[in-house]
Amino acid sequence: MRRTYWFQGVLAALCVAVSASSLFAEYRETLTEDAPRVDLVTDYGLVSDDTIDQSDRLQKAIDELSAQGGGKLVLKKGRYAFADVVFKSNVHLFIEGGTVLKPYIAWDERRAVNMFHFGTDDIEVENVSLRGWNGRFTVEFRPHEPGLRVVSCKLVRNFLICNMNVQECWTKFCTIILGPPDTSPEKEGFFGATDGTIRDCSVFDASGGYGLAQVHAGKRILFENLYTRGGVAMRVETGVRPKNPKQIGGAFDLVGRNLKSENAGTCVLLSPHSTHNGVVKVDGVEAISCDFAVKIAPGFISKRKKREGPEPGTFAEGTTIKNVHAVFGTNTQRGWTSMKYVHPELLKYVRMSKEQPGKMRGASIAPVLYAGKYKVNIENVTGEGFEYVTKPVITEDDAVPKEVFRKLHREHLEKIGYYSQKAGESE
């Protein structure tokens, strides 16, 4: 049976009206037509060979161009490998469509690898970009247990990342991370990543616990035209544990538009942990075979952090989610915290993942989960194919009764080998 639900607003006790003013959040173009143009192949000797590390050559080009006032670096179509390349102010890297990049991983590498850095803990940059030119470029990951990222954004202001595809392999960490620096939370006007745009990017085969872009610290950022197959498209999860109690970082004035996920846990996640965040506005979400299209999680405090005195995190009034559509499917990335919302008739779809040992797959639960203890305005939610849910937005009150969970859900998890696989992971 196919059912479609239309939903305008949430319970009045839980919501507030959206502010009439719009958020300004995006990159502002500073690159002029007459800016210097450098060919990385001709001028710096980069070659199409992804088995060698060419990071030093690219770094040299960035440093020299920035010292001259900035401009455009052009990387022609080919295959290249880079690691820990640090952008400098006013440098824009244009990568020709069809190019394939790989993170360079040394045979004895035992740490997470970031391909590019937009600002670091100590280096401040502004007016930088990484963009596909004449089409999209592709980043190919290979398994690396410590984790991989394409871009780490810290002390950066006015940045753009666009026209990129990433072929993941269920690796640890989000493709793009916006995090607070380990130094001062605000340094000469910088607040982590500020005034940026992440647009026209796709990620394939991402882990359910990560995804395309995660915000730990960001202000005035636009996320637009993003797609994930697996993983979260827009993950606003301010969960850097050492920094949460000190309220370092946080998400402020974020905008999401036209976001889509398939075979994932959720397309959009709001999860404040113990950080008090600002306003987030999302307009246009589509989810196909996901647990939820949007998941709004409550703030929480870990037991070991309670003695430090933080309160459960929040998002500010004016936070808005609207124009959401979810299509029921049976290949979601099932997280443990979502199991309590699974209707007993849908347990037959819950199974262990073939791609990721210890992880589960399952059937879609509802278009939106609103479990936050803070006010969010939710408008115009639709769902199709949901046979066992009577409303498009569910809350914690819609969890299955504990006695049902203890009997049916735990029995099914035992049957499919969930507990035995988790026990094996901990050994």
Unique residue bearing structure tokens 């982590």: 192
The percentage of the chain sitting over the pLDDT mark of 70, rounded to a whole number, equals 87
**Model pTM?**
0.92
Residue 185, pLDDT above cutoff 70: no
Give the model confidence (pLDDT) of 337-349 as tens digits: 999 999 999 999 9
Task: Return the structure tokens found at 57.
Answer: 């050559």
Position 181 scores a pLDDT of 80
pLDDT band at residue 187 under the 50/70/90 scheme: low
Distance CA 226, CA 238 (A): 20
Could you report the per-residue pLDDT of 260-302, keeping only the tens digit for each? 999 999 999 999 998 999 999 999 999 999 999 999 999 987 6
Fold that domain 37-401 belongs to in CATH? Pectate Lyase C-like (2.160.20)
Name the residue type at position 269: L
Average pLDDT over residues 121-147: 95
In the chain, where the domains are located: 37-401
Q: How would DSSP label each residue in 55-67?
A: HHHHHHHHHHHHH
* Per-residue pLDDT at 21: 37
Q: Name residues whose C-beta falls within 8 Å of residue 401's C-beta, 6 or more positions apart in sequence.
A: none
Q: Residue 12: which pLDDT band, with cuts at 50, 70 and 90? A: very low
Looking at the predicted structure, is the pLDDT value of residue 190 above 70?
Answer: no
Q: Residue with structure tokens 């979502």?
A: 338
Q: For residue 154, which phi and psi values (nearest 5 degrees)?
A: -125, -100
Edge-to-edge order in the sheet of strand 351-352: 332-334, 360-362, 351-352
What pLDDT score does 408 carry? 96
Give 15's pLDDT tier (boundaries 50, 70, 90): very low
